[in-house]
Amino acid sequence: MEDEWPYVATIIGDLTDPIDAEKAYAAWEQLAAYMEAARYQFQRKQEITDAVRAEHRAHPHQMDMEIALDGIRRRRQVFIDVHFYLDCFVMVQKMMQILVEATRFRRCCAVYQKWASQLDNYAQARHHLQHIDERFPGGRHARALHPGVIKKDSTTPHVQILEVFPDDKLIFGTSGESWDVGPKSIEMLEIAVAEFSQALAEDAREWYVNERPYQTQRGLYAVTPRPAHDRRRARRRAD
């Protein structure tokens, strides 16, 4: 992303307000980092689920205790990996929001609004996982059916790898809520980030032409990113 639009970091790092400039510069870098982290977590999750499926295809009627325990262990690991995967969705959305607020660019704001509801939906799933302890027996969101008997809350999360993961869905309790955490989810995030980045790049070019006409005459694409510490040093000298 940064390689595709190398001038964006320099332009947003040169915004009129120095605080907004620093925030935007950092958020642009982190947006790329969390998108890469999402790819990594998705691949890790898929490798584990593929291994579980392969094991069961090879031994469909195997009741060996060691195989069963290994399957349980890997199910738990996938549950944790889904949590980290959804963390990336939340952070991608946060970085987009910071960029929108810091730059006030119109195109990237429109793209953010386009994808906000879908990203909010994944943030809700992440919230459930982040606070799973509150749904344990005795927790603030645990519900009792009879005195001394804890009933599963309608949002109690569980991942059914063997039954649900062929459809790559994260299922929450009996409420019917579900989130796609399969290939379609990472494809959606990739498209959202790509469209947002393209919009930000176009906004940055437009801002640069309007606000830095002299530099534009020298060639917009000749601009190269400067490290944040170099920009701070330049500002201190100017002050």
Q: Which domain holds residue 111?
A: 6-131+182-230
Per-residue pLDDT of the chain (239 residues; tens, 9 = 90+): 656 666 788 788 777 788 999 999 999 999 999 999 999 999 998 888 888 778 777 776 666 666 667 767 777 778 888 889 999 999 999 999 999 999 999 999 999 999 999 999 999 888 877 877 776 666 676 654 444 444 544 444 444 333 334 457 776 554 557 788 889 999 999 999 999 999 999 999 888 888 776 555 555 544 444 444 444 444 444 44
Residue-wise pLDDT tens digits, 117-131: 999 999 988 887 787
Q: What is the pLDDT of residues 215-237, one digit of tens each?
A: 555 555 444 444 444 444 444 44
Taking a C-beta distance cutoff of 8 angstroms, is the pair 139, 133 a contact? yes
Burial class of 163 by CB neighbour count within 10 A (0 to 12, 13 to 18, 19+): exposed
Count structural domains, the chain. 1
Residue 211 lies in a domain: yes
Separation of alpha carbons 182 and 35, rounded Å: 16
CB 197 within 8 A of CB 1: yes
pLDDT of residue 159: 41
pLDDT (tens digit, 9 = 90+) per residue, 175-196?
557 788 889 999 999 999 999 9
Residue 166 lies in a domain: no
H or E element at residue 177: strand 177-180
Q: Tell how far CA 34 is from the center of its chain.
A: 6
Say what the pLDDT of residue 87 is. Answer: 96
Q: Structure pTM?
A: 0.75
Residue 47 lies in a domain: yes
Asked if residue 137 is part of any domain, the answer here is no
Assess if residue 164 is contained within a domain. no
In the chain, % of residues over pLDDT 90: 35
Name the phi and psi angles at 157, rounded to 5: -85, 145
Is 39 inside any structural domain?
yes
Asked if the structure places residue 171 within a domain, the reply is no
Per-residue pLDDT, 135: 64
In a domain, residue 25? The reply is: yes
Rg value, the chain, Cα = 23
